[in-house]
Copies of this chain bind each other. A is one copy, B any other.
């Protein structure tokens, strides 16, 4: 089971590392980071560097491919080299997945046309503009395409995938070993739940916020 997590300049770190931590614990999984070139890739705030172990040229296939989001997705979704690689790997993948604005990159590659998918709550309109049917759900399965909402939702997506691929017991073991028993001190994690003035503030800033991470 080969799991390829794509990196690109100005990705959001938790989008990639959340599902990495869960998926890579699947028995038999070989999980690696892949980017245009092997080597260091900088995150959206330029204060974290993750290494891509492999380059696009090194990877011709993967069972799971995952595209994180982040402000860099705006460039990634127009990068012909990146999109060609994504389409090539998608041709034989079992699951093609994204977190946050990673779904805009999948859409940019033409992989989500007419499908149901999700994204960061501030990017759902942009997803619709790309011919995708956006939903407000946290994790969306449409065939082999699995998309997650903003940043932290990749953890939930990974547990869903583990259950589908390896069974409930493996997924529950991973949840237990990572002690994923969320107890946030606030209930402000979605636009439906957060204080209305905070939602309005960020909606007002709109696309700028998604681009800023």
Contacts and interface: CB of A to CB of B under 8 A. Distances in A.
Interface of A: 12-14, 17-18, 20-21, 24-25, 30-33, 40, 45, 47-51, 53, 100, 120-121, 138-139, 149-153, 155-156, 159-160, 163, 168-169, 171-173, 175-186, 188-191, 193-195, 198-199, 201-202, 209, 213
A176 B189 CA distance: 4
Contact of A152 (B53, B139, B155): B155
Contacts of A209: 177
A20 B13 contact: yes
Contacts of A180: 151-152, 182, 184, 189
A198 B184 contact: no
A121 B179 contact: yes
A194 B176 contact: yes
| Copies per assembly | 2
Contacts of A18: 14, 17-18
A159 B185 contact: yes
Contacts of A201: 173
A89 to B, nearest CB: 18
Given A172-B195, A172-B198, A195-B172, A182 B48 contact: no
Contacts of A21: 12-14, 151-152
B17 A48 contact: yes
A13, A21, A100, A201: most-surrounded residue (chain B CB, <10 A): A21
Contacts of A20: 13-14, 48
Given A21-B151, A151-B180, 4 more contacts: A33-B48, A50-B51, A138-B183, A175-B189
Nearest to A171: B186
Given A151-B179, A178-B150, A172 B156 contact: no
Contact of A178 (B14, B159, B163, B173): B14
Contact of A181 (B159, B173, B189): B189
A38 to B, nearest CB: 11
Contacts of A202: 173, 176-177
